[in-house]
Structure 1
C-alpha cells in the first residue's frame, strides 16, 4: 500500500454521485427507501433523466392529491359513504383503474387488507378468496374459470364469462357474480356507474356499441363520471347531425370531397387536396372513396394500385 493511502471510509455527497444525489435539497440518499419522498413513495433512479425520483412503492397508486395509497386498504376512500361494509381502495380488473368500492362488511382479512369476495386476493393462482365469517378469509380452489380472476362460471351453458360483460344475458343486462352469495346471474343496477345508461335504465358492456348510434361506442368518461357515446377512432363526429362518419368516405360531403377531421375542432369537415394522395384523382382534381366507381368507367373500381401505390381504375378479377 502506497504512502498516504487509507483503508478508512468517509462520508460524502456530491452531484457526481449521480444515482443518489437528490437535486431538490442537495442531499444523497440510498435508493429504494423513502428518503426525501412523501409517505407511500420510495426513491428510484430514472434512467431517462439520469436522476433519482420519488415514485410510488409497489402495491401503491398515485392519486390526484400527489399521495400514494396502498391498494386493498381503506386508502383515500371516504368510509362514511359506505354503509354496512368497507370502502376499499382497489384496482378494477375491467377498467384497470383504481377506485373506491363499497364491499360487504366481511371482506377484511386478518392482516387488515380488503379484497373482493370470490377474487384471487392474496391466494395462489387457481384459488379464490371465500369469506366464511366476518374477518375470516379462506383460500379455496376455484373449480371453474381458473385462468382469469374476473371470469366466472355460468351453469346453464357450462361456460365462463367475464364480470360486467354481456355474456349470456339479454340486452340491457350484464353478467355478474353476486359478492354476497357467490351466485352468478344477469343484472343491471344503477350503482354500476361505468355501465349504466341513464336514458333507458339499462347496462351495457364497456367499448361495445351499446345504446349508441352507428359509428359510436359506449364508454365511461372519468372526468364527468358519466357514460357516453364516442366515435370510433376511424370515425369523425358531424356536429350538426351528431352522427359519426368514417374518415375518407363520402359521408355528408359534396361530390369530390371526403370526410376528414378538423385539427382545430376535432370535428368533421369536408376536404380534398393533392396531399390526400391515396384518394386524389389528378385528372379532375377531386377526391374519391375507395372501392366505389368514383371517376372510373362502368365495370371498374376506384382503389389503390398495389404496384404503384397510387389510386387507379381497376377491373375486378
Structure 2
C-alpha cells in the first residue's frame, strides 16, 4: 500500500540482508527459540532469543510472561500486543478505537457521546466523533455487553457480527430457492 516502507519489503516484513525480507515476529531464518525483531537503530530485522512461548508476551514491568488476553495487565479495557521490537504495548482490541477518556470503544456505541449520538468516523477529518445515531435510538437500548448496530448500504441496521449470518441465510435461501 501507500504506507509500505521504501525498503522493498511487504507491510509486515523487514529487510534481513541483501534483497531479502522476512515477516516480523516470525521464526523464519532464525535458529531454534529465536524470532525476527526490528532493530530500531539499523532498521533491519535480526534474530533475537525469544523470552516467552508463543501467544505469551514478556512484560518488562514485572519481568514475567503473560497470556496476550490476560485481563488486568493493561489499564481500562485494553489488551497486550507486541510491537516490531518485541516490546509489550497496551492498545485497543481489534475493532475498537480509543476515546478521549482512555477507554476503547466500538463504532456506533453511545460511549461518551451526548444522548441520541454514537461514536462514528468523520471521513473528511479522519477522526472519531459523536454524531446522531443513524439507526435511530436502538444503540441506546443495548445491554452493557451487547454489540452495537450499524447501517449497511441497503439502508437497514444490523448488529455487529450479524452480517455473516444474514449473508449465509440469503445465500442458503438463494441456493434452496433455485432447486
Aligning the two structures, in what range does the TM-score lie when normalised by the shorter sequence? Answer: 0.3 to 0.5
- The structure whose RCO (Cα within 8 Å, separation 6+) is larger is 2
For the pair shown, which has the larger CA radius of gyration, 1 or 2? 1
TM-score (norm 1): 0.30
**Larger helix proportion, structure 1 or 2?**
2
TM-score (norm 2): 0.48
